[in-house]
Structure 1
């Protein structure tokens, strides 16, 4: 079982995606260094700030790593570029657009002009058991 180190107690936690399988898939990309960015709708409650650290959970809710927010920018969905898609782990813009369009449509929130909170982060620590 993964335990949270004392120096990480009190950090907020979250899982990427909207399903256990997607959480595990995206976490794996973070652990392999392929995912260094994420985005969400501007009105989601888990907004971050540069310098803030988070515990990332796997699809079963177990803590797996600590990330630190480096940058937050707000952009319209239609203005996101291939570089950001690459940093999110998709490696090209079209798959990124398709995946996020599907995700936000399931939530009833998709619009090409919707504002997204775009976050760049760095992996700080992989927790025991990850």
Structure 2
């Protein structure tokens, strides 16, 4: 479980999953995350705040993401997750000259919090 503090807010979001567009990995020639990978989590100032370990990595079409995964990403509801991700991916893909698609592939990660900077 990772407690993510939103910038300038006193609220925390419980997060145990994350996702990104597979196309972004392809365009940047970046290695896909795999089980037991360790990652450093930065804050909005790009300072390290936590270490996480990937417990599962899958590639799933966006329109097949289960509600449970969306909520594990720290979002309140599936609809909120979907709306914010459609907006985020549409903008990011348009900037790269690509179009958003409901069935775009997402790289989905589940993770465990290993350490938090105190």
TM over 0.5: yes
Question: 1:36 corresponds to which residue?
Answer: 16
Higher strand share: 2
CA deviations on 1:50-108 (whole Å, 9 max, x unpaired) are 10101100010111000000001111110111101110011311000000001001112
Structure 1 counterpart of 2:71, from 70, 86, 109: 86
1:60 aligns to 2:45 (yes or no): yes
- For the aligned residue pairs, the C-alpha RMSD in angstroms reads 2.1
d(CA) in 2 for partners of 1:53, 1:76: 24
Contact 2:5–2:13 (CA under 8 A) maintained in structure 1? no
Q: How far apart in 2 are the matches of 1:106 and 1:25?
A: 21
Query: Structure 1 residue 46: deviation in Å?
Result: 5.6
- Please tell me whether the aligned partners of residues 77 and 115 of structure 1 are also in contact (alpha carbons under 8 angstroms): yes
Q: Give me the whole-angstrom Cα distance separating, in 1, the residues matched to 2:65 and 2:16.
A: 15
Contact 1:77–1:114 (8 Å) recurs in 2? yes
TM-score by length of 2: 0.78
